[in-house]
Structure 1
Amino acid sequence: MNLFHWLRPRSKKTPLDEDQQRRLAALPACTALGEHPLRQQRWVVLDLETSGLNMSRDQVLSIGAVVIEDGAIDLGQQFECTIQRVDHQVSPAVLIHGLAPSAIAAGCEPVEALLDFMAFLGDSPVLAFHAPFDQHMLTRALKDSLGYRLLHPFLDVAEMAPMLCEQAHLRQAGLDDWTAHFGLHAEERHHASADALVTAELALILFSHARRQQIDSPARLEQALSQWRRRKQSPSF
């Protein structure tokens, strides 16, 4: 017997039942970003509320998402779910997201919540403000609960904004700064669904700026972001 076996963390993953396995197998594969016009792409705009900002330890507590399709926000396609966390402990983050322990205890079971969200997502690319954080947290949650590998493209609205609106001089700005700059109004901040909706409104404005700069396809937008990121990291930027 391995003497260090007891040092290994125990898996908290519960085996999926037959229906959950069927749902998992039926999830569509993601597709690469194409050269079709931006307005022809279905986008899922995502926001997560988490128990904290530690990407290795903290958990996803709620998921909010809205769809951009045919160049507009489709309010008929929205997703909102609080995830049940039986081992959740109150942290300072509750002062930000406002999710009480009772709401989390009464939330949707993690496997079902994540399967529901992935069915909603389909094969669409994802937009989020500070997307690397949401991408990492969602990737980890899916791996832990479903054994699923997330491969969907994520584009960061927090990078799109300064790249496409350099005249605004808001390079390190947050979501509040950009919504104020464009005169947008969030009904409720640090609430996953409300933040997803205002991020979608911001994204539509940015798509308009992108088209005026001849960046009119998902693939070209991704390429422009990659080039802007490299330029930003150069010493002369």
Structure 2
Amino acid sequence: MNWSWLKKIQKETPKFWENYLAGFHTQDSPKRYVVFDCETTGLDIKKDRILSIGAVAIVENQIKVPDSLNIFVQQDFFKAESVPIHGILKEGQEEKVVEAEAIIQFLDYIKNATLVAHHANFDIEMINQALHRLELGRLKNQYMDTDIMYQKLKYYPEDQHTSLDELCDVFKIKKSDRHTASGDAFITALLFLKLKQKLDI
């Protein structure tokens, strides 16, 4: 008889996941936003992998640069054709951690914050796929998408998308460290604050 189902039921929930879930029983005051970005090997959510995660916190409409995160992930799954975009080499100088450790650090950092990203569904689903590989649930955080915020500001239809580069030009935001996770997170944080002010939210 196959008892694998019983082993699955008896499997202990990792402490880091319990801690993450417990954070949603409390409410932060003042509200904390975490703006984040994932650099990946490609755009296929199922097949591609996270190369790095960059994140920075916003509290009371101020970017808290000391409260930031920058993680590089070991590249067991490598696509050389994506290197010109993100510049991350398989054997680069950056200190790298395994994917599971990157996810643990990310969850510990974001806690119950509202997540912010540009084209957020992609970044969130990349994290969710990594969680799935750890046999865990999905992210519980509320999230906001700067592309959708701009759609609302301009009354654009849902299918009319605007790139991060285009919005940097519109709002005169310098594109420093573009296509690095930490650089894109900071740029998106600047964009988020401008949109938040214009939308009065």
Deviation at 1:40, TM superposition (A): 4.1
Identical positions, percent: 29
- Aligned pairs (5 A) from 1:141-152: 141-145=130-134, 147-152=136-141
The structure richer in strand per residue is 2
2:163 aligns to what? 174
Report the equivalent of 1:23. Answer: 16
Counterpart AA for 2:114:
P
For residue 125 of structure 1, report the CA deviation from its aligned partner.
1.4
**Structure with bigger gyration radius:** 1
Residue in 2 that maps onto 1:85: 75
**1:164 has 2:153 as partner:** yes
Q: Distance in 2 between matches of 1:40 and 1:209?
A: 21
CA distance in 2, matches of 1:166, 1:104: 45
* TM-score, length basis structure 2: 0.83
1:119 equivalent to 2:97? Answer no
CA RMSD of aligned residues (A): 2.9
How far apart are the structure 2 equivalents of 1:57 and 1:148?
A: 19
**Per-residue Cα deviation, 1:95-152 (whole angstroms, up to 9, x for no partner):** 1011101039951122211111100000011110001111111111112135243221
| Contact 1:82/1:103 (<8 A) preserved | no
How far off its partner does 1:89 sit? 2.4
- Which of 34, 55, 62 is the equivalent residue of 1:44? 34
3-state SS of 2:174 partner: coil
Structure 2 letter corresponding to 1:204: L
Normalised TM-score (structure 1): 0.71
State the shift of 1:31 in Å: 4.5
The question of whether the paired residues in 2 share the 8 Å contact of 1:71 and 1:204 is answered with yes
Give the total of aligned pairs.
189
